[in-house]
């Protein structure tokens, strides 16, 4: 995911961080930035003014001809963002069957929340329905009950592994136990529980029989998406 720490110089002539642009314009979480434009969890959004459209409109054929006459737009940035969004939209269609998205439970330590939220946003952009505690559990709901229900109704569980989560006792270990119990109920050979390293760390013994993915490597996320694609095919 693109860093929000970069600066832009086209926001009404003022040099500010992308993070500040996101705040002022209420831009959705950024998946990839192309200069003054970004592909977000919403769709394609401009970072220099209030202009955005949703993913379900990216394949309309007249976007470039419509916007290339505008003096406020950097057309090359827009074209690059549009083409990337179209590629992403094709991937989104893969993970939606009969109007139902692939459900993925994100098991993680609270200390790794910032990293996991970036993956959460990228999964949404790819048309996947991720389950994240702070987004999915409502105030007043029973934590344990909701997590057990979410794990059992998910198509896949991703267990995010770091030196913090591997060594930590507490709820992340309970979530792993729930996921392992649910995995035992699935057909043999079916992908359900995916160990995902977000930094170099040891694999817990109870996950060592499963192939893991290194999300901190260059092709890590693409490897994860390959497994999710297999899951989506049933």
Q: What is the pLDDT of residues 154-195, one digit of tens each?
A: 999 999 999 888 876 666 788 888 888 898 888 888 899 999
pLDDT band at 110 (very low <50, low <70, confident <90, very high): confident
In angstroms, rounded to a whole number, what is the distance separating the alpha carbons of residues 207 and 175? 13
SS3 204: coil
Higher pLDDT, 90 or 21: 90
Q: Say how many C-beta atoms besides its own lie within 10 A of residue 55's C-beta.
A: 19
Tell me what pLDDT residue 97 has.
60
Which domains, and CATH codes, for the chain? 7-92 (no CATH), 96-232 (3.40.50.10140)
pLDDT band at 73 (very low <50, low <70, confident <90, very high): confident
Mean pLDDT of 10-23: 66
What are the pLDDT digits (tens) for 92-105? 887 776 567 899 99
């Amino acid at each position: 995911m693109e860093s929000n720490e970069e600066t832009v110089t086209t926001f009404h002539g003022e040099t500010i961080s992308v993070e500040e642009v996101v705040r002022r314009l209420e831009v959705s979480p950024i998946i990839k930035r192309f200069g003054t434009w970004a592909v977000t969890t919403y769709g394609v959004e401009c970072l220099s003014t209030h202009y955005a459209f949703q993913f379900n409109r990216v394949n309309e054929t007249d976007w470039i001809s419509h916007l290339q006459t505008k003096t406020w737009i950097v057309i090359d940035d827009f074209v690059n963002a549009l083409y990337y969004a179209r590629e992403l939209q094709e991937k989104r269609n893969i993970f939606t069957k009969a109007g139902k998205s692939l459900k993925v439970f994100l098991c993680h330590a609270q200390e790794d929340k910032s990293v996991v939220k970036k993956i959460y946003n990228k999964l949404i952009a790819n048309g996947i329905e991720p389950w994240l505690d702070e987004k999915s559990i409502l105030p007043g709901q029973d934590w344990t009950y909701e997590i057990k229900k979410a794990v059992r109704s998910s198509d896949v569980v991703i267990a995010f592994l770091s030196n913090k989560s591997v060594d930590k006792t507490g709820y992340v270990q309970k979530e792993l136990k729930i996921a392992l119990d649910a995995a035992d109920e699935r057909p043999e050979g079916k992908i359900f529980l995916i160990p995902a390293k977000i930094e170099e760390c040891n694999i817990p013994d109870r996950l060592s029989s499963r192939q893991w993915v290194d999300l901190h490597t260059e092709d890590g996320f693409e490897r994860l998406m390959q497994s999710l694609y297999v899951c989506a095919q049933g």
